[in-house]
Amino acid sequence: AAAAALGLLPLGKIQSPETLLDIAARKVAEKWPFQRVEERFERIPEPVQRRIVYWSFPRSEREICMYSSFNTGAEDPVAAGGAA
């Protein structure tokens, strides 16, 4: 109980700290779309590209649903009562 209260892991469970690569890639992915990163920098090592792409995708089901919506912001003529 004391270990759980302190946030310690059970015996036998080892947690590695996040790598600097993952921290940096996550921060880049939070701020810029990958396309902008590609356009801005001439050479990006492949492992760095992979981590940025990994962190660019949403993590929660709610975010996945929000970003996978087909709504482009334009008014749908069928939904607005117009003829298609």
pTM of the model: 0.56
DSSP 24-72: HHHHHHHHS-HHHHHHH-S---HHHHHHHHHHHS--SHHHHHHHT----
Q: How confident is the model at residue 84 (pLDDT cuts 50, 70, 90)?
A: very low
Query: Where exactly are the structural domains of the chain?
Result: 20-68
List pLDDT tens digits, range 9-43: 566 677 889 999 999 999 999 999 888 998 998 89
Q: pLDDT class for 46, splitting at 50, 70, 90? A: very high
pLDDT at 74: 56
Report residue 62 as tokens. 């709610």
**Predicted pLDDT at 62:** 82
The Cα 22–Cα 20 span in angstroms is: 5
Average pLDDT on 43-50 reads 92
Q: Which of 50, 43, 5, 59 is nearest to 28 (CA)?
A: 50
